Structure 1
Amino acid sequence: MNAPSPSRATAIVTRVSLRPGAEDDFAGWQAALTRVAGEAPGFVSIEVVPVAPQVPDWHVVQRFRTAAALEAWRGGPVRADCLAALEPLLHPDHPAATDEAAPDFYALACVTEVIATRVERGREQAFRAWAESVQGAQARFPGYAGTLVQAPLPPQIAHWTTLVRFATPAQLDAWLGSPERQALLRQAEPAVSTWTSRRLDAPFAG
């Protein structure tokens, strides 16, 4: 894997090129990665972004509070296991994921739902496991254009922030109103105290 630059970066982007037919398995993989990254010390956010619509290339941006926390995550066994599980999904012409210094933002045409969730104290692990199920489900819906999951940043931000992107408002509404999502929301009730959402007609940087 390529080393990110500069050496004291607190974020990296992992470039992934999928083989044909690997989309559903990649949905599950990114959901699992989001969960375990969220458990890592110093985690700030993880962002899964398609390079362009209808292409097999994705960027996975991982942000941490410090360079040391990023390096511990990047070189640790949990992430190594995730990358090993990714290998069968990669395109033969690009058989390894590569790391680079992360850009500040992406600007794809899309519509975004911003969801703020306050999690009951002591139920964070249950919330992350539930969020993995949500991520795996929404990533399989037509029009899915990536997510950003950000941990609380106390004292300023006490909630988890999730940005869900779809190519069109209709495709986003299809996911938000789907029976699959409604069932998942009912499952979350024991672990979540309150949540709110709002619509942005803009990419993640907004």
Structure 2
Amino acid sequence: MPVREGRENDYRQWQRRVDQAAADFRGFEAAELYPPTSGEQNTWSVVFRFATIEQLATWLDSEERRELLDEGEDLFEEEPKQEILAGEAPPPDAVTAVVSHDIKPGHEREFAQWQHKVRKVQEKTPGFMGLELFDPVPGVQDKWVAVFRYDSREHLDEWLESETRAKLLEEGKRYFAGYDVRKISSAFSGWFRFNGEAEAGVPPNWKQAMTVLLALYPTVMVLNLTVGHQLDLVRLPGYLSLFIGNALSVSILTWLLMPLVNRIFAFWLVPGRMRKVVTNLLGVVAVVACYALFLAAFAWVTA
């Protein structure tokens, strides 16, 4: 979805309302928001997961969704595109490309054969993790969609920019009139990788340090007061207790607290260009206030 420049914060607020509305529908499993990568002209991606295609279609055709789309119309430079897929969720560390194709009438079989040929070539490329081809869903999804996954953004980009793929696309143009590529990075690709890029999507070092401290301090304190106390009772060696504590801390940060903190402070970690100074100041004040709150809470608990 191409969001208008300067409307990023308004879009986030609107998208949260959409997510909440979708969550009230039967079969809803998750909603994931992916900010734009460099060169994508402020295009955002949203993944809604439902248990079945029918339940997803109910949400897509609902009056609630139509009203929200009308309300948020001025947030976008053009009408948002959507792809509807039936399949399993991607592996946690995968980087995914979603490629939708407009197939020329009568060339469906040739396209499927061509796509099989592409897969055979892709299977030999570094980092390839799998490919799924989704047929159109009558009345819901008109395009053919290929979803392929790699173990890193670098390996995915190597394939997308390779001469081999360029030659295959030239051959495939006999069967499709056009295609669209969207790259989606996993939420677990790193503590601060909002858009999958090695540098562009990573906040400055000072923001990283403040944010990690915000999540790390209460984690260590809670573990010391609970698990640490139990480890002391069983008289484990200090080096082993420290290793267990660190392993628990890293796990909690990686899979629980850092994704949560990133989501809450996304407005500050990846601010819109139009409000960067004000947003930075508000973010710093909010983080420092959280520091003070944690210090006061643990001072009272340990008194």
What TM-score do the two structures reach when normalised by structure 1?
Answer: 0.47
| Structure with the largest fraction of strand | 1
User: Higher relative contact order by CA 8 Å / sep ≥ 6: 1 or 2?
Assistant: 1
Higher share in helix: 2
Larger Rg: 2
